[in-house]
Chain A
Amino acid sequence: MEKRVTFSSWTIGILFAVPQLLLIFTFFYWPAGQAVYWSLTLQQPWGGGNIWVGLDNFRSILVNADYWNSITASLVFAGISTGLAMFIALVLAALTDRQLAGSRLYRVVLIWPYGIAAPALALAFRFILAPEAGFLSVVNRMWPGIWDPGLDGADAMASIIVAFSWKYVGYNFIFFLAAFQAIPRSLIEAAAMDGSGVIRRFWDIQFPLITPTIFFLLVINITESFQDSFGIVDIMTSGGPANATNLMVYKIYSDGFKGLDYSGAAAQSIILMLLIILLTIFQFRFIERRVHYG
C-alpha cells in the first residue's frame, strides 16, 4: 500500500484545500455557471433585468447558417493546424534525436515560438504574409492576384493555420524530443543489429513507443486550436473575409462584445465547451486504445 500523509481532523484537510477550491470556483465554476444561466435567458445589453427564454437561444443559433459555417471553419482549422504542427514537430524532433548537424541549435531555437504571445506572432505573420509588401508578395508578382488573404477566404484560412502551427510546432517539438530521448538507445541499436534501417527503425520501434506522447499532444493541440486561436484570428483576419475565418471562439467574442448579444454568445460558448468535451471523449475512447503505454 502506498503511504500517504493523513490528517487527524477533517478541518485541517479542508483548510489546505480551500485556496485551490476557491480559485477553481471563482474562475471556472462560477463563470461557467453564469454562462449556462445567460444562455437560458435573454440579457439586456446595458444591464437591467432579463427574461427566461429556455432553449430559444440555442434554437436560434443552430438554425443560423453563419454558425454552422463557423463550426466548419473551426473544425477545418483544428484538423489542419493540429496535423501540420504535429507532423512538422515530429520530423524535427526525430532529426534532432539523431544528433544530426545543427541539432543543438534546433533544440534552443524551436522552443522560442511557444513563448511568443499569440497577438505578437500574429502581427509578425500579418507582415510576412501581406499580399502587397510581405515576403509572399513575390508570388503575386509572378502570378498577379494569386495570394490575397484579405479577399480570398482560403488564403485567410491558410494564413491563420500557418501562424498557429508555427507556434505549436515549438510546443510539440519539446514533448516529442523528450519522448524520443526517453527511448533507451540500446533498443535502437538492437534494431540496427536486427538489420533495420533508419526509416524502418522509426516506424517499428520509435513511433510505437512515443504513441502516449502523440496522443497527449493530439488532445492538447485540438483543444488549444479551438481556444488559443483567438489572438491570431483577431489580429490577422478579424474573422474575415466574409466570415471565412470566423472561428467559434472568435464569433463568441464578436457576437458578445461587439454585437452585445450576451445570451447568444453564452449559448455559443456552452456549445463550444460541449464540442471540446465530445472531441476529447472521442479521442480517449477510440484513439487511446491504440496507444502503447510502456
Chain B
Amino acid sequence: MASITIRGVKKNYAKTQVVHGVDLDFASGEFVVILGPSGCGKSTLLRMIAGLEEISGGTIAIDGTVVNKLEPRERGCAMVFQNYALYPHMSVAQNIGYSLKVAGVPSAERTQRIQAVARTLELEHLLDRKPMALSGGQRQRVAMGRAMIREPKVFLFDEPLSNLDAKLRVQMRSEIRKLHRRLNVTSVFVTHDQVEAMTLADRLVVMNGGRVEQVGTPGEIYTRPASRFVATFVGAPAMNMLEGTVELGGLSLLGGSRRLAMSRAGLPVGTKVAMGIRPEAVRLVAPDTAGALNATVDLVEELGAGRVIYVDLDGAPFSVMTSEAVHLEPGSTVGLRISPEDMHFFSSETGNRLDVFKASVPEPAL
C-alpha cells in the first residue's frame, strides 16, 4: 500500500505537449479512476506512473519517494494492460509466475504462490494452458493474477475491460471491486467508460485535453460538475445546455425567447453563460402548465426501464429522461418543468462552474 503524489507533471512528444502540469494526490488504499475521452492524456499519465513513459516535467512520488528516474521494476507497481499483454509462448502458470522467476524466487515457493493466486481468481484448472486457448474473460483474469502475485504497492489498470463483451465487463467490474476491497492496494484505473468509472471509483479524476478538470467522488462529479466539459461528459444522455445572456434582473435564454428571473450575483450585464439541466431532472407535465416550458417531441427512444424523449425547445435540441410510462407521438407538444436546484450554470467563456450564480436563483418565471 502506498500513496501517490503527482506534482506539476508534464509530458511532451517532440513539440506537442499532451499533459499540461497535473497535480494529484492518491491516498493509500484508494481506488482512483481517471476518466476522459480518448487522447486526453489519461493513459500517458498512467504510463508515467508506471515508468513506461519518461516524465517531461514535474515529479511523481510513490510513498514519498520521487520515482522519476527509477526503472519500472523499482517502483513497486503492477499493471494490467488493455490487450492483457500475456506472453503467448508461456503457460498460464508461467505467465503468472514470471515476475517471481525474474526476482529469483525459489521454484517451490513460486509454485505455491501461483497456486494461491490461481485459487483466488479461479484459474486453477487452466494453469497449464497457453493464453491462445483462453477466453477473453480468462485472459483478463490471468493478467490480473500476473499483477497480483507480486504483491505490489500500486495497481495500475489501463482500460482493462474495453476488450470484453458487455456482460463480461459488468462481471469483471465487480470482481475488480471485490478484489480491491480484499487486498486494499492503492489502485489507479484508466477508462473512457463513465459507467465503469462511476461504479469502480472511490475517487474520480476527470481529464480533458491533458488537464485535470475535476477530482471528486462519483457523486460529487455527477451532482456538482466543476466545468461544462465534466457536466456533458459524465451522465448519459448528456446534460442539456441552453445558452444565455445575463440581463438586468435575470437571464435571457434561447436567443431571448425565454427569460429566467434571478439575481445577477455580480456578473456584468451581457455576460454569456450556459445553463445545464440533466435529462433525468426534467419532469414532463401537460402542455401549457403554468411555470413549465412547451416543447415539441422529435423522437422517443425506448430503453425498457425508461425512455429518452428528444424534444425541440424553441429551436434548441433538448432531451428528457423519464421512467414514467408515457406515450408521446413525434410532433406532439409537451410541458417541461425544471426545478431551480437542478440548474447548473457555467461561464461560456471559461467553461467553469458559476456557483455564486446558482446559490441565488429565485423561483423561476419561465
Residue numbers of A with Cβ under 8 A of B are 184, 186-187, 189-197, 200, 204-205, 208-209, 292, 294
Residues A193 and B88 in contact, CB atoms below 8 Å apart: no
Q: Is B50 an interface residue (CB 8 A)?
A: yes
Instruction: Say yes or no: A195-B85 contact (C-beta < 8 A), given A189-B52, A190-B79.
Output: no
Chain A's interface: helix, strand, loop or mixed, by majority? helix
- A195 touches which one: B81, B86, B103 (CB < 8 A)? B103
Q: Is the CB of B102 within 8 A of A195?
A: yes
Once the chains bind, are A193 and B83 in contact (CB under 8 Å)?
A: no
A190 B73 Cβ-Cβ under 8 A:
no
Contact of A190 among B71, B81, B89 (CB under 8 A): B81
Q: Are A193 and B77 touching (Cβ within 8 A)?
A: yes
B89 close to A292 (CB less than 8 A): yes
Residues of chain A within 8 A of B102, CB atoms compared: 194-196, 200, 204
Q: Is B146 close to A, CB under 8 A?
A: yes
In Å, the complex CA distance between A204 and B88 comes to 11
**Chain B residues with CB under 8 A of A204:** 87, 98, 102
A192 nearest in chain B by CB position: B72
Contacts of B99 in A (CB 8 A): 193-196
Residues of B within 8 A of A (CB): 50-52, 71-73, 77-79, 81-83, 85-89, 98-99, 102-103, 146, 150
Chosen A-B contacts, 14 in total, with CB atoms closer than 8 Å, are: A189-B72, A192-B52, A192-B71, A192-B73, A194-B98, A195-B72, A196-B102, A197-B73, A204-B87, A208-B89, A209-B88, A209-B89, A294-B88, A294-B89
Interchain residue pairs A-B with the least CB separation, the first 6 = A195-B73, A194-B99, A186-B85, A190-B85, A292-B89, A208-B89
Are A193 and B98 touching (Cβ within 8 A)?
Answer: no
Residues of A within 8 A of B87 (CB): 187, 190-191, 204-205
Contact status B79-A193, CB under 8 Å:
yes
| Smallest CB gap from A205: residue in B | B87
**What is the chain B residue whose CB lies nearest that of A183?**
B88
From residue A72, how far is it (CB to closest CB) to chain B in Å? Answer: 37
CB closest residue in chain B, given A196: B102
Complex alpha-carbon distance, A192 and B87, angstroms? 12
- Taking CB atoms, residues of chain A closer than 8 Å to B71 are 192
Number of A-B contacts (CB under 8 A): 64
With a CB–CB cut-off of 8 A, which chain B residues contact A193? 50, 52, 72-73, 77-79, 99
Residues of the A chain whose Cβ atoms lie less than 8 Å from the Cβ of B146: 190, 194
Which residues of chain A are within 8 angstroms of B86 by Cβ–Cβ distance? Answer: 190
Chain B CB count within 10 A is highest, among A189, A200, A204, A292, for A189
Q: B50: which A residues are within 8 A, CB to CB?
A: 193
**Residue from B81, B98, B103, B150 in contact with A189 in the complex, judged by beta carbons closer than 8 Å:** B81
Known pairs A191-B87, A192-B71, A193-B72. 14 more at Cβ < 8 A? A189-B79, A189-B81, A190-B81, A192-B51, A193-B52, A193-B99, A194-B73, A194-B98, A194-B150, A195-B99, A196-B98, A197-B73, A200-B102, A205-B87
Q: Which of A187, A189, A195, A196 has the most CB of B within 10 A?
A: A195
Collect the chain B residues with CB atoms within 8 Å of residue A208's CB: 89
Contact A186 B98 (CB under 8 A): no
Contacts of B81 in A (CB 8 A): 186, 189-190
**How far, in angstroms, from A205 to B82 measured CA to CA in the complex?**
19
The answer for the CA separation of A187 and B89 in the assembled complex, in Å, is 11
C-alpha spacing A208/B91, complex, angstroms: 13
A209 cross-chain contacts in B, Cβ below 8 A? 88-89
State A187–B88 Cα separation when bound (angstroms): 9
**Nearest Cβ on chain B to A190's Cβ, whole angstroms:** 4
Tell me the nearest residue of chain A to B79, going by C-beta: A193
CB nearest neighbor in A for B158: A186
The reply to whether B73 and A187 form a contact with Cβ atoms under 8 Å apart is no
* Closest chain B CB from A213 CB (angstroms): 14
Q: Whole-angstrom distance between the alpha carbons of A196 and B150 in the complex?
A: 13
Known: A193-B50, A193-B77, A194-B146. A184 touches B98 (CB 8 A): no
Least CB distance from A198 to B in Å reads 10
Interface centre among A184, A191, A200 (most CB of B within 10 A): A191
Whole-angstrom distance between the Cβ of B222 and the nearest chain A Cβ: 33
Q: Which residue of A has the minimal Cβ distance to B73?
A: A195
A77 to B216, CA, bound (A): 70
CB distance from A201 to the nearest CB of B (A): 9
Question: Are B73 and A189 interface neighbours, CB within 8 A?
Answer: no
Answer whether A186 and B83 are a contact pair too, CB < 8 Å, given A195-B73, A195-B103, A196-B102.
Answer: yes
How far, in Å, is A26 (CB) from chain B's closest CB? 44
Inter-subunit contact B88/A189 (CB<8 Å): no
Report which of A191, A197, A292 forms a contact with B98, defined as CB distance below 8 A: A191
| A86 CA to B248 CA, complexed, in Å | 82
A190: B residues at CB distance < 8 A: 79, 81, 85-87, 146
Q: Are A189 and B89 in contact (CB under 8 A)?
A: no
Q: Closest approach, in angstroms, between the C-beta of B146 and any C-beta of chain A?
A: 7
Q: Give the interface centre of A191, A194, A209 by most chain B CB atoms within 10 Å.
A: A194
Residues from chain B with a CB closer than 8 A to the CB of A187 are 85, 87-88
Give, as a whole number of angstroms, the nearest-CB distance from A139 to chain B.
43
Q: Which partner residue on chain B sits nearest A189 by CB separation?
A: B52
Provide the bound-state CA to CA distance between A191 and B52, in Å: 11
**A81 shortest CB reach to chain B, Å:** 29
Chain B residues near A194 (CB-CB < 8 A): 73, 98-99, 102, 146, 150
Query: B78: which A residues are within 8 A, CB to CB?
Result: 193
**Cβ–Cβ < 8 Å partners of B77 in chain A:** 193
A residues less than 8 Å from B72 (CB atoms): 189, 192-193, 195
A193 CB to closest chain B CB (Å) equals 5
Q: Closest residue to A208 on the B side, CB-wise?
A: B89
In the complex, what's the smallest C-beta–C-beta distance from B331 to chain A, in angstroms?
48
Instruction: For the complex, give the distance between the alpha carbons of A4 and B88 in Å.
Output: 31
